[in-house]
Amino acid sequence: MGLRGYLAKRLVYSIILVLAVITVNFLIFSMLPGDPMQQFVSSLRGRTTEERYEQLRHHFGFDRPLHERYLTSLVDMLTFNFGRDIISGDPVFNTMTGPLLNTLLLMGTAETICMIVGILVGVIAAYKRGGVLDTTLTTGSLVTYSVPIFFVGWIVILFFGVQLHWFPSGGTSPIEWARNPPTNILEVMAGRLTYIVLPALTLFLFVVGGWILLTRACVLETISEDYVLTARAKGLPERTILYKHILKNASLPLITNVALAFASLISGAIITETLFSYNGMGLLTWHAIYPVPNLPLLQAIFYISALLVIIGNFIADLLYGVLDPRVRYG
């Protein structure tokens, strides 16, 4: 079928998935019993006048029939018009841009370092299989993989934030910046960087174990293949074998994981961001649920997260298709 056909098929599928996600989004947020939005509006019933109540209902569109609301929601989502925030009245898009960038900064840094370190360490561990280094690394990865993330976060805060006072243990930027933000871009970057270190370290410790184990497993699978033996018999230097033969062939699941990791950027950081009060998408989601559910914001966050995952999956499929010829013709 060829690469183009394969990609076209995956693209169509992704678009269908996006539409399905929008539908599910609409179903969840409009049709669940105890719809938070309805509850919020109806909780105002006793507190505002009757006409204001009707106004609100009309404004949020609760008095329109279901299919009309669905179509409106469909069009809105596709055009990235997320409506207005309940609490602040700002367009949701504006509310989301700041935290989105913050999260991308945090998770991007953490994931990138994780990947680089994880892959390198995983390869070393696989190479020296059975040795002391391998066993310690594997056991260490297993432990960090299974320790709950808030524990890692607490220990990190305790150690670096409280005892050593190297880094602040919460927040996104220094408090003084609220009144007079610095204009020098380097100063801004340096200041923000100190607030990213601890959450990024927590995420890194939590995720790197998985990467090490995955890389190790993949490399071990290819290292016993026959062509590696042939390459060795040919007398190729070890490094060439490692990079050109082993890594290239073993890296398929790794690369798909890379794409998927970036895809789950937003949802993965909820606990870390709540723990560190870092003003990112995770904390935004949390604030959008308690104490009052902020429906348009929640819908938008869900949608963006799912969209990113779908895009990430598509990119993973793309890479897979380019790198592994078996897929295109399967």
Partner 1 sequence: MNQIRQSKRGLLGVTIIVFFVVVGIFAPLIAPYDPGTPYRDPGQYPGYGVNGPKIAEKLCYPSWYKILPWVYKGSIEKTESFRNTVINVGSQIFSNATDLLVDDRIAKPLKVTVLFPNESARDLVLGKEWTWDPVRLRLIKLDWRTAQRLPNGTRVEVNYLTGADMTDTMELVTDYKFSSNETFYSVWETQTSQPELVNVKYNSQGGFKNDGSVEIKYLGSNYISDGEVNATLLLPFKYSYWTPPMSFDTHFSVRVEASAATNVTITLWLRNEVLEKSFLTATYHVASQGEYISYVGVSSSNETMTNVGSYPERIIFPMPANMSFALSVNFPDKKSDVTVYIDNLQCILFGNSFGLLGTDNGSPYPPRDIFSTLVYGTRVSLAVGILAAVFSTVIGLFLGLTAGYVGGAVDETTMRFADLLMVLPTLPLFIVLIAVMKSTYGLVSMWNIIILLTFFGWMGFSRSVRSMVLSIRERPFIEAAKAAGGGKFYIITKHMIPNVFPLVYITLATAVPGAIITEASLSWLGLGDPSIPSWGKVLYDFNVSGIAVTKGLTEYWFWIFPPCIAIALLATAFILLGFALDEILNPRLRERR
User: Which residues contribute to the site for partner 1 (CB under 8 A)?
Assistant: 16-17, 20-21, 24, 28, 32-36, 39, 142-143, 145-151, 154, 157-158, 162, 220-221, 224, 264, 266-268, 270-271, 274, 285-286, 289-290, 293, 298, 301-302, 305-306, 309-310, 313
Nearer to partner 1, 106 or 271 (CB): 271
Question: Hey, which residues does 280 pair with through a beta bridge?
Answer: none
Cβ at position 222, least distance to partner 1 in Å: 11
Distance (Å, whole) CA 279 – CA 263:
19
Nearer to partner 1, 142 or 323 (CB): 142
Nearer to partner 1, 162 or 186 (CB): 162
Nearer to partner 1, 200 or 275 (CB): 275
Cβ at position 272, least distance to partner 1 in Å: 11
Nearer to partner 1, 20 or 120 (CB): 20
Distance (Å, whole) CA 249 – CA 11:
25
- Give the contacts of 177 (CB within 8 A, at least 6 positions apart): 191
Distance (Å, whole) CA 19 – CA 14:
9
Amino acid at 55: Q
Nearer to partner 1, 101 or 217 (CB): 217
Distance (Å, whole) CA 288 – CA 292:
7
Cβ at position 181, least distance to partner 1 in Å: 27
Handedness of CA 97, 98, 100, 104 (dihedral sign): positive
Cβ at position 33, least distance to partner 1 in Å: 5
User: CB neighbours (10 Å) of residue 122?
Assistant: 27
Nearer to partner 1, 170 or 181 (CB): 170
Nearer to partner 1, 16 or 193 (CB): 16
Cβ at position 24, least distance to partner 1 in Å: 7
Cβ at position 92, least distance to partner 1 in Å: 15
Cβ–Cβ under 8 Å, residues 160 and 204: no
Question: Hey, which residues does 84 pair with through a beta bridge?
Answer: 91
User: CB neighbours (10 Å) of residue 86?
Assistant: 20
Cβ at position 183, least distance to partner 1 in Å: 33
Nearer to partner 1, 24 or 66 (CB): 24
Cβ at position 163, least distance to partner 1 in Å: 8
DSSP letter (8 states) at residue 268: G
The string of DSSP codes covering 123-172 is HHHHHTTTSHHHHHHHHHHHHHHHS-HHHHHHHHIIIIIIIS--S-SS-S
The string of DSSP codes covering 79-140 is TT---B-TTT-SBHHHHHHHHHHHHHHHHHHHHHHHHHHHHHHHHHHHHTTTSHHHHHHHHH
Cβ at position 10, least distance to partner 1 in Å: 11
